[in-house]
Structure 1
Amino acid sequence: MRVRLAYGETGLEVDFDDRRTTVIEPTYNAAAADQAAVLTAALRDPVAGPPLRDRVRPGQTVAISACDGTRPQPRHLMIPAILSELDGVVDLDDVTILVATGTHRGNTDAELRAMFGDEVVDSVRIVNHDARDRESLRWLGEYGRGVPVWLNRAWTDADVRITTGFVEPHFFAGFSGGPKLVAPGLAALETVLVLHDAKRIGHANATWGVIEGNPVHDDVRAIAEATGVTFAFDVILNRDKDIVEAFGGDLAAMHKLATDRARTIAMRAVPAPFDIVVTTNSGFPLDQNLYQSVKGMSAAFQVVKPGGTIICVAECRDGFPDHGSYRDVLASAASPQALLAEIEARPETIPDQWQVQIQAKIQSACDVVVHTGHLSAADLASAHLGHTDDIAATIAAAGPDATICVLPEGPQTIPYLTHG
Structure 2
Amino acid sequence: MRAELLYGKSGLSIEVPDHAVIIEPAAQAGLADEKGAVTEALRRPEGLPPLRELVRPTDRIAIVISDITRPTPNEKLIPWILEELSFVPEAQFVIINGTGTHRDQTREEFVRMLGEDVVNRIRIINHHCHEKEELTHVGTSSFGCEVWLNKEYVEADFRIVTGFIEPHFFAGFSGGPKGIMPGIAGIETIMTFHNARMIGDPRSTWGNMVQNPLQEMTSEVNRMCPPHFMLNVTLNKEKAITAVFAGELFAAHAIGCAYVTEHTMVPVKERFDVVITSNSGYPLDQNLYQAVKGMSAAHKIVKQGGTIICAAECSDGIPSHGNYADILRMRPTPREILDMINDPKFRLFDQWQVQKQAVIQVWADIIVYSTLSEEDVRAAMMTPTDSVDAALQGLTAKYGQEMTVAVMPQGPLTIPFVQGEQA
- AA of the residue aligned to 2:395: A
TM-score where L is the length of structure 2: 0.97
Are the counterparts in 1 of residues 340 and 346 from structure 2 also a CA contact under 8 Å?
no
- Equivalent residue number for residue 396 of structure 1: 393
- Equivalent residue number for residue 191 of structure 1: 189
2:414 counterpart of 1:413? yes
Distance 2:380 2:344 in 1: 20
2:82 counterpart of 1:73? no
Are the counterparts in 2 of residues 294 and 355 from structure 1 also a CA contact under 8 Å?
yes
Measured against aligned partners, the alpha-carbon deviations of 1:17-41 in whole angstroms (never above 9, x if no partner) come to 112x000012211010010111101
- Equivalent residue number for residue 382 of structure 1: 379
Unaligned runs of 5+ in 1: none
Measured against aligned partners, the alpha-carbon deviations of 1:258-286 in whole angstroms (never above 9, x if no partner) come to 00001111110001000000001000110
Distance 2:403 2:392 in 1: 8
SS in 2 for 1:39: helix
The total of aligned residue pairs comes to 417
SS in 2 for 1:114: helix
Alignment of 1:215-254 (within 5 A): 215-254=213-252
Alignment of 1:14-413 (within 5 A): 14-19=14-19, 21-88=20-87, 90-373=88-371, 375-399=372-396, 400-413=401-414
SS in 2 for 1:71: coil
The two structures, once aligned, show a CA RMSD in angstroms of 0.9
SS in 2 for 1:272: coil
Are the counterparts in 1 of residues 281 and 313 from structure 2 also a CA contact under 8 Å?
yes
Are the counterparts in 2 of residues 194 and 349 from structure 1 also a CA contact under 8 Å?
no
Distance 1:241 1:148 in 2: 37
Distance 2:410 2:181 in 1: 27
Measured against aligned partners, the alpha-carbon deviations of 1:296-332 in whole angstroms (never above 9, x if no partner) come to 0000000000000000000001110001111111111
Distance 1:44 1:95 in 2: 20
Please state how far the C-alpha of 1:376 moved relative to its aligned partner: 1.5
Distance 2:200 2:165 in 1: 23
SS in 1 for 2:197: helix
Are the counterparts in 1 of residues 145 and 188 from structure 2 also a CA contact under 8 Å?
no
- Equivalent residue number for residue 11 of structure 2: 11
Are the counterparts in 2 of residues 234 and 247 from structure 1 also a CA contact under 8 Å?
yes
Measured against aligned partners, the alpha-carbon deviations of 1:162-208 in whole angstroms (never above 9, x if no partner) come to 00000000000111111011110000111100000000000001000
SS in 2 for 1:291: helix
- AA of the residue aligned to 1:294: V
Percent sequence identity is: 44
Please state how far the C-alpha of 1:349 moved relative to its aligned partner: 2.6
Distance 1:309 1:75 in 2: 36
SS in 2 for 1:187: coil
TM-score where L is the length of structure 1: 0.98
SS in 2 for 1:57: coil
Are the counterparts in 1 of residues 138 and 224 from structure 2 also a CA contact under 8 Å?
no
Distance 1:223 1:52 in 2: 23
Unaligned runs of 5+ in 2: none
Measured against aligned partners, the alpha-carbon deviations of 1:330-357 in whole angstroms (never above 9, x if no partner) come to 1111110000000001425311100000
Please state how far the C-alpha of 1:51 moved relative to its aligned partner: 1.0
- AA of the residue aligned to 2:146: P
- AA of the residue aligned to 1:235: V
Distance 2:116 2:142 in 1: 39
Point out 4+ residue stretches in structure 1 off by more than 4 angstroms: none
Distance 2:21 2:100 in 1: 36
Distance 1:40 1:191 in 2: 34
- AA of the residue aligned to 1:115: M
